[in-house]
Amino acid sequence: MKGSRMRTVFFEKDILKILAVKALRPIWPGIVFSSLSPTQYRELPDKPFPGGKWVRVKNRICGICASDLHLLHVRGDLGIAPVAIPGTERIYLGHEILGTVDEVGADVTALKPGDRVILDTLSTCYSQELDNPCKQCRIGNYQLCENAVSGENSAAVGGGWGDSFIAHERQLYRVPDDVSDEDAVLVEPLSVGVRTALKKLPEAGETVLVNGCGIVGLNVIQSVRSMAPDARIIAFARYPQQIEMARILGADEVLSGDDPYQSVSRLTGSILYDGPFDNRMILGGFDVIYDCVGSQHSLKDCLRWTRAGGAVVLAGVSLEVMKVDLTPVWYQEVELIGIMGHGIESWSGRKVHTYGLTCELLADGKLRTDGFITHSFRIGEWKEAVRTASDKRTGVIKAVFDFREDAA
């Protein structure tokens, strides 16, 4: 690979550029594509392997995720907890990756050239070759690695918004041969829906709410429908393509534009109280709510729409410091549960990786991907891709970068 190069999009942890974009983006949205932005598109030399267990992957397809867009648009706060943890100075965008193994290190045993793989996590104790792996890595929850930022050469380099990347073999998952490319690139976002549902799977006859029907919310709907078929599923959606897809995937009722507090009261038979200063509260409510928006407003509402002793699973991602009324957590003993990506699940009396379970559900026809990929771009069109993926009025559900013609 000597002398070879890759095109890639990355985010630099440059405080001055981050502050400039945060200050100027409201009046100059195009700053996110300028030289002042911490996000840049470059052609860089391919990085050599830092060890014998590393693998070079040529990308085939990569999804554009909301977390990528949060970074690119610098929608976040420097006071959130992850910022306090030191990490790599350069973050390569794109983690919903399907690629083909192109080259393997001398000590790789699990993969070979030609294998199709998806990325599991950016860094693990194993990619850092630590002698004493943390508890989470030992059980396979690599996304929760407690040493994820310790090693200088431990993170995957290159990302999915580019031609290729390198990663430790433990950071990759081999895709079964019977899974198509278009299904395989959606395994990562599908698995987030599966893990979200399994964090608090409803009992038969319980009523759940999926708040927000972006790609995560849609996958939560079909995951709950496949694994808890007797649950009643209500969804809040905003855009026409989301409303249509939520119904197709199994939501019993999809709401949009109505007074949500009135709707919750009607659908659950709960009591709505209107206090002073637009302070509203529900007694009763849903058994489980999956908050797939993740803003301070959505979380506040979801906690108030949940019955006493119920649960809210926070699947939506926000990089902002939130001011949220948490009194329902003690006042109504509402359980608040977080979810981070994928890992090891307990299902049907066995332990299985979320990716493996997701592939099984796909093979059994219990999960589907038809109609999810609505827009496809070449990497040179990355600015247009970002604009499309950022604006749901385009009809987008999932936009992807497709590298297969480049490799042909």
Q: What is the pTM of this model?
A: 0.95
**Average pLDDT, stretch 264-284?**
96
Residues with Cβ within 8 Å of residue 394, at least 6 apart in sequence: 375, 388
pLDDT-based confidence at residue 170 (cuts at 50, 70, 90): very high
Checking DSSP bridges between strand 253-255 and strand 271-274, what pairing results, if any?
Answer: unpaired
pLDDT of residue 408: 55
Residue among 131, 167, 165, 128 at smallest CA distance from 145: 128
* Rounded (10°) CA dihedral 219, 222, 226, 230: 130
Two tokens, residue 278: 């637009």
pLDDT of residue 332: 98
pLDDT of residue 147: 87
Two tokens, residue 59: 């990308």
**CATH superfamily name and code, 194-338:** NAD(P)-binding Rossmann-like Domain (3.40.50.720)
pLDDT digits (tens, 9 = 90+) for 293-311: 999 999 999 999 999 999 9
Residues with Cβ within 8 Å of residue 198, at least 6 apart in sequence: 223, 227, 345, 346, 347
pLDDT of residue 31: 97
Rounded distance between C-alpha atoms, residue 69 and residue 386, angstroms: 7
**Average pLDDT, stretch 156-169?**
91
pLDDT of residue 78: 85
Instruction: Extract long-range pairs of 31-38: CB within 8 Å, 24+ residues apart.
Output: 32/72, 32/73, 32/74, 32/386, 33/383, 33/386, 37/72, 38/11, 38/12, 38/13, 38/14, 38/74
Scored b (16 or more CB within 10 A) or e, 341-362 reads: bbbbbebeeeebbbbbbbbebb
C-alpha of 92 from chain center: 15
pLDDT greater than 70 at residue 282: yes
Q: In the chain, where are the structural domains located? A: 5-186+371-407, 194-338
pLDDT greater than 90 at residue 3: no
pLDDT-based confidence at residue 407 (cuts at 50, 70, 90): low
DSSP, collapsed to helix, strand or coil, labels residue 321 as coil
Residue among 20, 4, 32, 18 at smallest CA distance from 390: 32
pLDDT digits (tens, 9 = 90+) for 100-142: 999 999 999 999 999 999 999 888 898 888 899 999 999 999 9
Checking DSSP bridges between strand 286-291 and strand 306-314, what pairing results, if any?
Answer: parallel
Rounded distance between C-alpha atoms, residue 166 and residue 53, angstroms: 11
Scored b (16 or more CB within 10 A) or e, 151-173 reads: bebbbbbbbbbbbbbbbbbbbbb
pLDDT greater than 90 at residue 85: no
Across all residues in the chain, what is the average pLDDT? 94
pLDDT digits (tens, 9 = 90+) for 37-66: 999 999 988 889 999 999 999 999 999 999
Rounded distance between C-alpha atoms, residue 313 and residue 220, angstroms: 11
Pick the CATH number of 5-186+371-407 from 3.30.750.210, 3.90.180.10, 3.40.50.1220, 3.10.180.10: 3.90.180.10
Rounded distance between C-alpha atoms, residue 99 and residue 323, angstroms: 40
The length of the chain, given as a count of residues: 408
Residue 316 or residue 85, greater confidence: 316
pLDDT greater than 70 at residue 155: no
